[in-house]
Amino acid sequence: MEDRKRVKRPRGVAQLISGKCIACGARCQSSCPKDAIEMNEKGEPIIIIANCIGCRKCLKVCPVDALEIYLTPEEQKILAELAAQKKVAAVEEAPEVIEEEAALLVKLKEYRGVWVFVEQTAGEPAGVSWELLGVGADLARARKEELCSVVIGDHVEHLCQESFVFGASKAYLIDDPVFRRYLTEPYYKAICYLVRKYKPEIMLVGATGLGRDLAGAVATELQTGLTADCTGLAIDDRGFLLQTRPAFGGNIMATILTEGTRPQMATVRPHVMPLPAKDSSRKGKIVREMVPFQEADIAVKVLEVIDERKAGEVDVAAADIIVSGGRGMRAKENFSLLQELADELGGVVGSSRGAVEAGWMPAERQVGQTGKTVRPKLYIACGISGAIQHLVGMQDSDVIVAINIDKNAPIFEVATYGIVGDVLKIVPSLTQRVKELRAKGVEFMVERH
Amino acid sequence: MRIIVPLKQVPDMNQVKFDVEGGRVDRSSAGVEINPFDLHALEAAIQIKENKGGNVTAISMGPRRAESSLRDALARGADNAVLLEDRKFAGADTLATSYTIAGAIQKLGAFDLIICGEKTVDGDTGQVGPEIAEHLNIPHIAYVSWLEVSGETIVARCEMGGRAYTVESAFPVLLTVTKDVNVPRLPGFRNKITARKAAVEIWGTRELSGFADISRCGVRGSPTRVHRVIIPSEENRKGMIFRNTIDEAIAEIADNLLSRLN
């Protein structure tokens, strides 16, 4: 028998919990310091027990808790005995790990406040910035910190006051002619300058073309985490930002944490978060900053800017009623049926990815994961089967009407009303019915959100 | 002109199946393909090569099976292909991915142009391209829908926020292109045969040593961590489904819409 005092505390070995692995992409294997994990063809880990030292790194990176530590009955017995002897927890962390985490916590404590980047073009704000102030206020409240806006541009001071109306209590302002047009380089350098000086805990940016471009550059320069296209943001019990986003075309929802670096950065698409209530009496503090930056320092030169927003161009994401068509519409010409219905209802025509790919509708009308996210009061899906990438872009609509020939189409799963039948016959009948009701004086137009 | 095209192998999104109960992506359910946006990047690179001369290197990071997508790129006209494959690269977020690819690009030596697709269809972040540019400390132009290479500079049209910016940059520069930039060609049959035999270089941590710090790759180098993954079951609205009584359905919907909307 071995001398009790010399018994090493057993650490066990990692093992896979059957049926829980989602084949996330070999995170466990990548995290293993001892090459103790091989992946099988299904993308699940195989633990090489001889190499495993029970360090638990793979357990920590697994997004679905599919790994656990296995202890033999003998090991469990030794642990129980040790615990009884020394009155220590059976699974204590190595002291160096605890020290590391404590040092990290001190560093993270320097960062405070929730920032929202106010996107603007020629002084005109992007609506998503105000939406972000709404969710930003919730996060700031949960962390008991202040909500700040970041305004960068040329002659943009008025946007600071507007951000106070939507909930910010402080605005960081950089107002200089060098920022009159968006270019990645001056903008990201300006933001990095502010972040390094004032150390925000959380930074939110609209997931527009400009916002994605900017946020990526900022996160790389600061070497911090950035989560794109979040649909849910919340604070966990440790005060960390829980960033939930769809992946695989909306088929899975992943909640992401940035634990060791700051700020925690996230982008959110337009119309995903509700616009907060305006309060014109609100005031805030403007913090003016200067960034020593010359026009000549910028590598990319703007030769020309053309405003492509055509008068009357349709923004499906802003519409209250959307009549959308998919491949089931069978031909481009048939979209005129949808336009007629939309006109009667005071709505606009949208499209699935299939109809865009077929060349029937322009890309800016596309609803779905790779198109626009919409949450109208009424969404009428015509000849759209309801691939999940489409559903994720419209399933938050208040009322969904689905018309499809295939009774098994997934669109019916989210529909408030479903009609199984020929869309080319049903849509004109519906239009006719609406016309009749309108002739009787019934109004279908709805108030704006 | 030396052009580099980073590309990603993605599951065919129209076919991939999801097991809601088990919460997993069944990757074996779908074929794989080059991310559709990256095909436009590759086509743009090949067109520049055809007009101005030079060569095109396709580079990808992923498991060994991603080699097939690089062969596809070779069949479409790329001259060389490099696959970054190492267990230490796995589980990378966009920061670690762009860092690793940037390291490999540095190993490849001098270049003039990097062309990326604007985003991938699976991750859908659009971050990796601009992030590669930042790691390499070169300028980038995102969302390019038209471009022209002339002598010393490139002129490109980028579309953002309802405005089209015509911009000019010297080399080296990174572009991310949209689907509007061109129509990708299909690989020729003969090229396919040649590409099948062509060499795809495989680089791991050993090959990247001196160009990338391993602690900044893969899971270790990723500041973001996936905390939880769920596959949402579609929201069941318990809606009314009409099959045979379509007139009734239309009446019901028109009348009910009124009560719901007003």
* Closest partner CB to A121 (pick from B13, B161, B219): B161
Find chain A residues with C-beta within 8 A of B173's C-beta: 299-300
How far is residue A151's CA from residue A159's CA, in Å, rounded to a whole number?
Answer: 7
Q: What is the mean pLDDT of residues A420-447?
A: 82
Contact A151, A172 (CB under 8 A): yes
Please, which pLDDT band fits residue B160 given cuts at 50, 70 and 90? confident
Q: What is the mean pLDDT of residues B28-37?
A: 81
Least confident of A171-180, A196-205, B191-200: B191-200
Contact A217 B123 (CB under 8 A): no
Give the per-residue pLDDT at A5: 54
| Domain identity same for A328 and A280 | no
- Would you state the structure tokens that stand for residue A268, as one six-digit string? 């959110």
Give the per-residue pLDDT at B214: 93
Give the per-residue pLDDT at A33: 87
Give the per-residue pLDDT at A30: 86
How far is residue A42's CA from residue A310's CA, in Å, rounded to a whole number?
Answer: 50
Please, which pLDDT band fits residue B139 given cuts at 50, 70 and 90? very high
| Domain identity same for A167 and A82 | no
**All structural domains of chain B with their residue ranges:** 2-221
| Domain identity same for A25 and A104 | yes
List, for residues A209-256, the tens digit of each pLDDT value. Answer: 999 999 999 999 999 999 999 989 999 998 999 999 887 666 678 899
- Check residues A379 and A83 and name the one with the higher pLDDT: A379
A339: CB partners within 8 A, 6+ apart: A323, A349
Q: Which of A108, A143, A164 corresponds to the end of one domain?
A: A108
Q: Which of A67, A90, A108 corresponds to the end of one domain?
A: A108
What integer best gives the mean pLDDT of chain B?
88
Least confident of A2-6, A286-290, B255-259: A2-6
Q: Which residues pair with B159 in a beta bridge?
A: B164
Contact A255 B228 (CB under 8 A): yes
Residue A93 pLDDT greater than 60, yes or no: no
List, for residues A352-375, the tens digit of each pLDDT value. Answer: 999 998 999 998 899 987 788 888
Residue A3 lies in a domain: no
| Domain identity same for A162 and A263 | yes
Please, which pLDDT band fits residue A22 given cuts at 50, 70 and 90? confident
Q: Is A225 near chain B, with CB under 8 Å?
A: yes
Q: What is the mean pLDDT of residues B84-107?
A: 95
Work out the minimum CA distance from B3 to partner chain A, whole angstroms: 19
Q: Is A304 near chain B, with CB under 8 Å?
A: yes
Number of folded domains that form chain A: 3
Please, which pLDDT band fits residue B183 given cuts at 50, 70 and 90? very high
How far is residue B82's CA from residue B98's CA, in Å, rounded to a whole number?
Answer: 15
Q: Which residue has the tokens 């944490």?
A: A257
CA atoms within 13 A on the CB side of A129: 25
Find chain B residues with C-beta within 8 A of A421's C-beta: 243, 246
- Check residues A346 and A133 and name the one with the higher pLDDT: A133
Q: Which of A53, A82, A108 corresponds to the end of one domain?
A: A108
| Domain identity same for A424 and A357 | yes
Work out the minimum CA distance from A429 to partner chain B, whole angstroms: 7
Please, which pLDDT band fits residue B206 given cuts at 50, 70 and 90? very high
Domain of A208, in residue numbers: 114-297
Give the per-residue pLDDT at B167: 94
Find chain B residues with C-beta within 8 A of A412's C-beta: 239, 241
Confidence (pTM)? 0.81
Residue A160 lies in a domain: yes
Residue A448 lies in a domain: no
CATH architecture of the domain B2-221 equals 3-Layer(aba) Sandwich (3.40)
Q: What is the mean pLDDT of residues B116-145?
A: 93
Q: Which residue has the tokens 């029937």?
A: A360
Please, which pLDDT band fits residue A89 given cuts at 50, 70 and 90? low
Q: Which residue has the tokens 């600071």?
A: A160
Please, which pLDDT band fits residue A2 given cuts at 50, 70 and 90? very low
What integer best gives the mean pLDDT of chain A?
88
Residue A2 lies in a domain: no
Q: What is the mean pLDDT of residues A82-92?
A: 64
Closest CA to A214 of B137, B158, B142, B97: B142
Best residue of B100, B135, B237, B248 to probe chain A, by most A CBs closer than 10 Å: B237
B129: CB partners within 8 A, 6+ apart: A216, B6, B98, B116, B117, B118, B140, B142, B174, B175, B176
List, for residues B244-261, the tens digit of each pLDDT value. Answer: 777 888 887 777 665 555
| Domain identity same for A90 and A119 | no
Give the per-residue pLDDT at A149: 98
Letter for the amino acid at A44?
E
Q: Which A-chain residues 107-126 have CB contacts (< 8 A) with chain B?
A: 119, 121, 126
| Domain identity same for A345 and A430 | yes
Q: Are strands A252-258 and B224-230 parallel, antiparallel or unpaired?
A: antiparallel
| Domain identity same for A101 and A119 | no
Residue A1 pLDDT greater than 50, yes or no: no
Give the per-residue pLDDT at A96: 63
| Domain identity same for A415 and A353 | yes
| Domain identity same for A154 and A292 | yes
Q: Give the angle B43-B49-B54 at the CA atoms, nearest 5°.
A: 140
Residue A286 lies in a domain: yes
| Domain identity same for A156 and A293 | yes
* Closest partner CB to A306 (pick from B164, B240, B243): B164
Residue A305 lies in a domain: no
Helix intervals (H) in chain B: 36-52, 67-75, 94-108, 128-136, 189-197, 205-208, 246-261
How far is residue B182's CA from residue B178's CA, in Å, rounded to a whole number?
Answer: 9
Give the per-residue pLDDT at A411: 92
The ipTM, to two decimals, is 0.86
Considering A36-45, A390-399, B76-85, the range whose residues carry the highest mean pLDDT is: B76-85
List, for residues A143-163, the tens digit of each pLDDT value. Answer: 999 999 999 999 999 999 999
Find chain A residues with C-beta within 8 A of B36's C-beta: none
Residue A162 lies in a domain: yes
| Domain identity same for A236 and A132 | yes
- CATH number of the domain that residue A353 is part of: 3.40.50.1220
List, for residues A124-150, the tens digit of each pLDDT value. Answer: 999 999 999 999 999 999 999 999 999
Give the per-residue pLDDT at A447: 42
Closest CA to A139 of A161, A113, A120: A113
How far is residue A329's CA from residue B193's CA, in Å, rounded to a whole number?
Answer: 40
Overall residue count recorded for chain A in this entry: 449
- CATH number of the domain that residue A225 is part of: 3.40.50.620
Q: Is A46 near chain B, with CB under 8 Å?
A: no
- Would you state the structure tokens that stand for residue B77, as one six-digit string? 């006209």
Residue A449 lies in a domain: no
Q: Is A300 near chain B, with CB under 8 Å?
A: yes
* Closest partner CB to A418 (pick from B121, B129, B242): B242
